[in-house]
A and B are shown apart, each in its own frame.
Chain A
Amino acid sequence: AQSVTQLGSHVSVSEGALVLLRCNYSSSVPPYLFWYVQYPNQGLQLLLKYTSAATLVKGINGFEAEFKKSETSFHLTKPSAHMSDAAEYFCAVSDRSSNTGKLIFGQGTTLQVKP
């Protein structure tokens, strides 16, 4: 069965510092991988997704993630944090072979950005 593990339920960085949010997945075949952001009292917004081909995926708001099959990881990074990046971030996987809209989400990581 597929699963997602987000390492660190809470990450705190200073404004302008590197953001690194970790995600590891478990799947028998390379899945589709996603990062979503959730601001307080709002739904989820897609940051980026990996479906095939390029292993380095660029998303919105300056975020990017690299798919590493050997490490079964899909960590999210941003070179310089802004105060507006403070939110909850979720990594998710989808079974490539089932062709459904089912996503399996991790527990989430709360990003705090200090001035």
Chain B
Amino acid sequence: DAGVTQSPTHLIKTRGQQVTLRCSPISGHKSVSWYQQVLGQGPQFIFQYYEKEERGRGNFPDRFSARQFPNYSSELNVNALLLGDSALYLCASSGALGAGTGELFFGEGSRLTVL
């Protein structure tokens, strides 16, 4: 079975541009979460979607947005890119809403570089 897949794996943007990152969860999983991992730090929670509804939002500006589609895949959009947005963006899927009741399976991430 396929794990969590993310695309693109690497991308380079310039300041002010917009980027869309994509995630396909494990088949049957209805929860998708997004995390930002800056080099040398632990991942930081951005969003969680469950059954196509936003169920959690981290401390990120409104430039960050996401959505989940009927097939449970998800997109993360970042507008007006800043140098500080350079990071590894991780997607995680789970078969349950809560972290205590379902295991989070992470993809390999999309590495964004903003020049």
What is A's interface to B at a CB cutoff of 8 Å?
Answer: 4, 32, 34, 36, 41-46, 49, 51, 90, 92, 94, 96, 98-108
Contacts and interface: CB of A to CB of B under 8 A. Distances in A.
Interface in B15-36: 31, 33, 35
B106 A102 contact: no
Contact of B42 (A41, A46, A106): A106
B90 A43 contact: yes
Contacts of A49: 100, 103
Chain B interface size band reads 20 to 34
A98 B31 CA distance: 15
Contacts of B98: 94, 98-101
Contacts of A106: 42
Contacts of B106: 36, 43-45
A103 B100 CA distance: 10
